[in-house]
Structure 1
Amino acid sequence: MAASSVHLALLLCLMIMIPATVASPRRLRESPAGASRPTTFFEVDRPLRPPPGSSGPCSTLLLSGSFGSTLAKPPATAAYSPPRCLAAAGGRASAISLAVLEWRAACRGAQLDRIFGVWLGGAELLRGSTAAPPLDGIVWSVSKDVTKYASLVAAGRSTLAVYLGNLVNSTLTGVYRANVTLHLYLRRAPAPRPPPAVAPADLVLPMSRALPPNSGGGLWHQIRSAADVQSTSVALPSNTYRAVLELYISSHGDDESWYTNQPGYRNGPFREVTVRVDGVLAGAAWPFPVIYPGGIYPLLWRPVAPIGSFNLPTYDVELTPLLDGKAHEFGFAVTNAQDVWYVGANLHLWLDPGSTATTAGLVSYVAPPANATSSQSGDPVDTHHHATASRLFSAAGWVRSSYGNITTNATQTFGLEYTLTFETLDRTTVAGAGVSATDHAGGVVYAVQTRRNFPLGWLYEQGRLTVTHGLDETTVSAGRWWTGPRSRSLRTTQSSVVEDEEGGGKSWGVRQAYSYEATDGCYFRNVTSSGYGIVSDHSSEVCAAKGTSSGRGAVGAAPGAEKAGLVRN
């Protein structure tokens, strides 16, 4: 995975050539702590908690494999059947209170960061990057909540597929060895009928490439240019009353570091992934600027991985207003794309148990083109590049089912501010999404409003590079069908530094603050690293406003997590 910006290339050259003039607080040189003991890398995230009254975990190893020279080879596969504990609990998806997919891997020997994906029955469950391991090796793990795929987990026999395209040669000797495990927590008492539309979907339809028996690569659609549209046909069940498309997105090759591009270089710094139904825009996602563990400067992310790199974020697009019970062609494109983007999708469908067919109609639709501008100053010594972009999408439609006549309004708003100079980058993406469903009397059935803020910046001065990266997300929910947290907020900020040392070495370190607050619990963590070591690691689950703690066991804790607060790594 290589950087793709002129400014970035010049900056890295300076990092190599300019001697340090500021003393570094991190005096460790680039060498692992011990040759015989691999380093544990991790991404800061909150622990996963089973709901009260759950039994488990019931753990099943789904696949164990080694990924050496696997680039452009077929995925590793394994037969899947629902775990016996689920069958003993009745075999229904509603018996699952929490499902966790754990990826645990190790690598010894020099290697690059590689993208990997995990699919069940063709539906993507997890996409992540490996670390960029030092010669003496690493271990790391990811635990992802996959409860929303409960219908797939309980559906019956299927195929699990894992693709990790790795290359091994005389220089890159590292082989990734990974275990994929499913942990299930089950309800002790018979599950009540789940609330309509907000429980896990009744059906999850994959929109990935078909599992190739002989051809290589993952199951992703590959978008190679701005004109490229990848599509798939799907027939929706006639009794569907809600539909949400879940997007998986990652950028590679010429567009790996698209977020640093200056205007006029490689199509600039603006990207959006668009979803089309029968050629008509149905929604969009503006990608979170995921920095891979080998990106910008690899020492910045050792051992604390960049935000979202081990467990890439997904993006939901509400399609309920467009329901009509017919077959449709779903298309995916990336505005301003360079070769290559991997795009996959899962269609989550809620089915009406009280009828064999629903009826639906579109009420309104507004989707003006995205508005993007760019400019640069005339100063030949210190040119300032500036770019902005904005987008609005709105649709409303009604669906008549046994639950009544429900009208759903879906909105999306996006904004981008970007400034680049020779020494600095400052960009912020703001994304808002809202879904509101009302009955014939105007009562709110369910409503969800989410706002996300993606700040990214760097500062280079006197042999010192500082990269700041963050995610700020707030969600507010309401309605008589809604049973989850009414509000939740997540804010995490990462500041990573690499600096020249006297004598030609490098020192580096990371500070990250993580804060999650919700009506059902809280989690806070602050981590500081220096070189490959952790200097401080403090966490708490006490909500400041309530003075309470959830007090339940965590899933997917890292080695030594009893001191670090039982984090999910």
Structure 2
Amino acid sequence: MRSRIIMSMLTGGILTMSLLLGAGPASATTSSARSASHAPSPATVAPPDEFGTDWHDPVTAAPPVARPNSRSCEVTLAETQFRDFTPYRGTYTPPRGCGDHWSKVVLRVEGKVKGRQFDRLGYLHVGGVEILRTSTPEPSPDGIEWSVEKDVTRYSETFRQSRDVEMLIGNVVDDTYTGVIDVKATLTFYAGRPAHTPDRVLTLQNGTLTTPRNSERIVAEVYATGSGGGCEEFWYLTVPDTAPYSCKAAGGPYREVQITVDGRLAGIAAPFPTVWTGGWSNPFLWYVIPGPRAFDVQPITYDLTPFAGLLDDGRPHRVEVSVVGVPAGQTGWSTPVNVLVWQDAKSRHVTGGLTVHQVGDPVGSPVYTPGQENRLDTQGGHRFTVAGYVDTSHGRVTTTVSRTLANTSVHRWTEGEDQDGLDATWTDDETVTVHGLGPVRAAHTRRTYTMDGSTTIGTDGRLRTVLTLADRAAVVETHGGRRAAWSLLDDTYTGDAAYTTTVPRDQRHAVGTTSERYRLYGSQGCYDRRLTTVQGALTENRDGC
């Protein structure tokens, strides 16, 4: 590739773990696309020979949010257009007629855009709490519509009183980039037996956190995204300064998202290698089926309960998020933080302490081998264990969190980057164990992310990208040593698309086949769905369960 910067011009898991343990990733059953019907059926139109001026509206194979069969109330959060980088600001008012404790709360964002436009990154805040981080599809000249749904029940405490609303999808509209983004965001509240949700949802104030003094469980979630149009948008392809490549980082491509409390490491995590809809130099890969998580960015979760005894002193504590591997002084990562807190209703002050804090050094060892085909081999990883206790009204509870990260990748490219490929795997292995309140409970989550792709540019200017991107997770919960719940997630995207570069849009003769299969099996059932597109036409929409 002549300049990896052109890969994208972005400007801007599975079954939920039990609320008591909270060790798993955010639920993967949180998003769906408007055009993806709940009753899959094959497309009825034959695909064209190449991409034209219109294509199928964006769809994902992810399951729709399950909705209760109960009385509901809808509130509009925002209805606006984005033409620049001016945020929408409004006021949220709680719904009437559905009470103030709900069985479920569902966010739905509907968008439409037409003309020419890049992919854009956006967020939605209610009372300062980030309830959605998203990106947009790139439009057809004739226009597209899409939607994102998300289960936001865990933020119920935020929704119980009037709050400020802020939403932004940073955009540029001029004579060339004509796409104005129309958006409507709503919350639907369902009456019924209230869900067991956090008592408080907090945000950082000037980088500090002050928790209620009777907090007995604390979980931080970080919507970490590498973005902004620079090299951190595709951090997994960066190379050491000594290697001849367009994107450099002294330590190579190893990245790790860390959270600290008063300067002490409190959690580690592997970031998901999100690919936005202009990524890998080839928007034809993503016009209809986006990559996993692109429309609904999942937060990284950190169980900070071992630190509850320290945080419950009524004083502000500094909480900071950083990304290992980012070159000094370089921006490119956004890391907003929400903190979910469960309180001991029968105690005014929960005391406790930190008992174990074992931290190794993060390891990233890129090895560059020059040649006609340059090669960078990277191995990285980190281990972390922390334990702490809280003395509650129902006895002492000890929480232990252990997390192990690993990354291996092989990056190959030729001079001028006309051939450029990556084969990479990231694992994030986490176990949360709780002693107290009855039998020992444990939740083990193993997250695995893989990327295998290549981009080539021929002497005729024909660019071809072949890519497979997978988001996988396995979760096992045990009570007293016996398995209580389990789930397996495999969300795999594959694509193969080509077009002619350096010619007007109508002369690109673009073709492409893409597919996504989303499989979720476990103790709570089965979901299996497959989508396939050819030249932007949806040719397969099949349910496998």
TM bucket, shorter chain: 0.7 to 0.9
Per mean C-alpha deviation after superposition, the further-off stretch among 390-399 and 464-473 is: 464-473
Q: Is 1:266–2:236 an aligned residue pair?
A: no
Q: Given residue 57 of structure 1, which amino acid in structure 2 is its aligned partner?
A: S
The structure 1 segments of at least 4 consecutive aligned residues displaced by more than 6 Å after TM superposition are: 9-12
Shift of 1:27: 6.2
**1:479, 1:367 → 2: CA distance?**
28
285, 297, 303: which one aligns with 1:318? 303
Residue number in structure 2 paired with 1:77: 89
Residue number in structure 2 paired with 1:64: 79
Instruction: Please give the secondary structure, in 2, of the residue aligned with 1:421.
Output: strand
Instruction: Please give the secondary structure, in 2, of the residue aligned with 1:84.
Output: coil
Q: Given residue 395 of structure 1, which amino acid in structure 2 is its aligned partner?
A: V
**1:415, 1:168 → 2: CA distance?**
41
Give the TM-score normalised by the residue count of structure 2: 0.82
Shift of 1:250: 1.2
Instruction: Please give the secondary structure, in 1, of the residue aligned with 2:62.
Output: coil
Shift of 1:26: 7.8
Instruction: Please give the secondary structure, in 1, of the residue aligned with 2:133.
Output: strand
Residue number in structure 2 paired with 1:29: 50
Q: Is 1:357–2:361 an aligned residue pair?
A: no
Q: Given residue 56 of structure 1, which amino acid in structure 2 is its aligned partner?
A: R
Q: Is 1:41–2:58 an aligned residue pair?
A: yes
**1:166, 1:79 → 2: CA distance?**
23
Q: Given residue 262 of structure 1, which amino acid in structure 2 is its aligned partner?
A: V
Q: Given residue 177 of structure 1, which amino acid in structure 2 is its aligned partner?
A: D
Residue number in structure 2 paired with 1:143: 149
Instruction: Please give the secondary structure, in 1, of the residue aligned with 2:70.
Output: strand
**2:93, 2:293 → 1: CA distance?**
30
- In structure 2, runs of 5+ residues without a counterpart are 9-45, 242-246, 414-418, 501-506
Shift of 1:499: 2.7
The percent of aligned pairs where both chains have the same amino acid is 26
Output one character per residue of 1:272-319: Cα deviation in whole Å (capped at 9) or x when no partner. 221111111111222100000011111111211111111111110011
Residue number in structure 2 paired with 1:293: 277
Does the 8 Å CA contact 2:71/2:98 hold for their aligned counterparts? no
Residues 159 and 11 (structure 1), Cα distance of their counterparts in 2 relative to 1, 3 Å cut: closer
Instruction: Please give the secondary structure, in 2, of the residue aligned with 1:237.
Output: coil
Q: Given residue 139 of structure 2, which amino acid in structure 1 is its aligned partner?
A: P
**1:329, 1:409 → 2: CA distance?**
22
**1:534, 1:428 → 2: CA distance?**
30
Residue number in structure 2 paired with 1:465: 465
Q: Is 1:497–2:458 an aligned residue pair?
A: no
Structural RMSD (CA): 2.5
Instruction: Please give the secondary structure, in 1, of the residue aligned with 2:494.
Output: strand
Does the 8 Å CA contact 1:118/1:162 hold for their aligned counterparts? yes
Does the 8 Å CA contact 2:428/2:446 hold for their aligned counterparts? yes
Does the 8 Å CA contact 2:60/2:516 hold for their aligned counterparts? no
Residue number in structure 2 paired with 1:398: 389
**2:261, 2:353 → 1: CA distance?**
15
Residues 42 and 239 (structure 1), Cα distance of their counterparts in 2 relative to 1, 3 Å cut: same
Residue number in structure 2 paired with 1:211: none
378, 383, 388: which one aligns with 2:379? 388
**1:504, 1:239 → 2: CA distance?**
62
Residue number in structure 2 paired with 1:476: 476
- How many residue pairs are counted as aligned between the two chains? 474
**2:269, 2:395 → 1: CA distance?**
31
Residues 320 and 9 (structure 1), Cα distance of their counterparts in 2 relative to 1, 3 Å cut: closer
**1:486, 1:186 → 2: CA distance?**
27
Does the 8 Å CA contact 2:407/2:424 hold for their aligned counterparts? yes
Q: Given residue 408 of structure 2, which amino acid in structure 1 is its aligned partner?
A: E
Residue number in structure 1 paired with 2:359: 367
Does the 8 Å CA contact 2:56/2:538 hold for their aligned counterparts? no
**2:499, 2:332 → 1: CA distance?**
33
Residues 334 and 403 (structure 1), Cα distance of their counterparts in 2 relative to 1, 3 Å cut: same
Residue number in structure 1 paired with 2:422: 425
Shift of 1:59: 2.1
Output one character per residue of 1:200-244: Cα deviation in whole Å (capped at 9) or x when no partner. 211010237xxxxxxxxxxxxxxxxxxxxxx61121111000101
109, 115, 118: which one aligns with 1:112? 118
211, 220, 242: which one aligns with 2:217? 242
Does the 8 Å CA contact 1:26/1:508 hold for their aligned counterparts? no
337, 346, 350: which one aligns with 2:338? 346
**2:484, 2:71 → 1: CA distance?**
23
Does the 8 Å CA contact 1:425/1:457 hold for their aligned counterparts? yes
159, 164, 171: which one aligns with 2:164? 159
Give the TM-score normalised by the residue count of structure 1: 0.79
Does the 8 Å CA contact 2:47/2:537 hold for their aligned counterparts? no
Residues 433 and 402 (structure 1), Cα distance of their counterparts in 2 relative to 1, 3 Å cut: same
**1:175, 1:122 → 2: CA distance?**
26
Q: Given residue 222 of structure 2, which amino acid in structure 1 is its aligned partner?
A: L
Instruction: Please give the secondary structure, in 2, of the residue aligned with 1:259.
Output: helix
Does the 8 Å CA contact 1:263/1:386 hold for their aligned counterparts? no
Q: Given residue 382 of structure 1, which amino acid in structure 2 is its aligned partner?
A: E
Residue number in structure 1 paired with 2:512: 508
Equivalent residues in 2 for 1:111-260 (5 A)?
111-154=117-160, 156-187=161-192, 191=194, 199-207=196-204, 232-252=207-227, 253-254=229-230, 255-260=232-237
**1:7, 1:382 → 2: CA distance?**
16
Q: Given residue 397 of structure 1, which amino acid in structure 2 is its aligned partner?
A: G
**2:82, 2:167 → 1: CA distance?**
10
Shift of 1:134: 2.3
Residues 440 and 101 (structure 1), Cα distance of their counterparts in 2 relative to 1, 3 Å cut: closer
Shift of 1:460: 4.5
**2:260, 2:520 → 1: CA distance?**
34
Instruction: Please give the secondary structure, in 2, of the residue aligned with 1:393.
Output: strand
Shift of 1:504: 6.0
Does the 8 Å CA contact 1:39/1:139 hold for their aligned counterparts? no
Residues 351 and 389 (structure 1), Cα distance of their counterparts in 2 relative to 1, 3 Å cut: same
Shift of 1:50: 3.2
Residues 460 and 233 (structure 1), Cα distance of their counterparts in 2 relative to 1, 3 Å cut: closer
Does the 8 Å CA contact 1:123/1:207 hold for their aligned counterparts? no
Shift of 1:11: 9.6
Q: Given residue 172 of structure 1, which amino acid in structure 2 is its aligned partner?
A: Y
Instruction: Please give the secondary structure, in 1, of the residue aligned with 2:191.
Output: strand
Residues 401 and 495 (structure 1), Cα distance of their counterparts in 2 relative to 1, 3 Å cut: same
Output one character per residue of 1:160-187: Cα deviation in whole Å (capped at 9) or x when no partner. 2111111111101111110001112221
Instruction: Please give the secondary structure, in 2, of the residue aligned with 1:262.
Output: coil
Instruction: Please give the secondary structure, in 2, of the residue aligned with 1:167.
Output: coil
**1:377, 1:113 → 2: CA distance?**
34
Does the 8 Å CA contact 1:44/1:307 hold for their aligned counterparts? no
Q: Given residue 173 of structure 1, which amino acid in structure 2 is its aligned partner?
A: T
**1:283, 1:436 → 2: CA distance?**
15
- In structure 1, runs of 5+ residues without a counterpart are 13-24, 209-230, 543-569
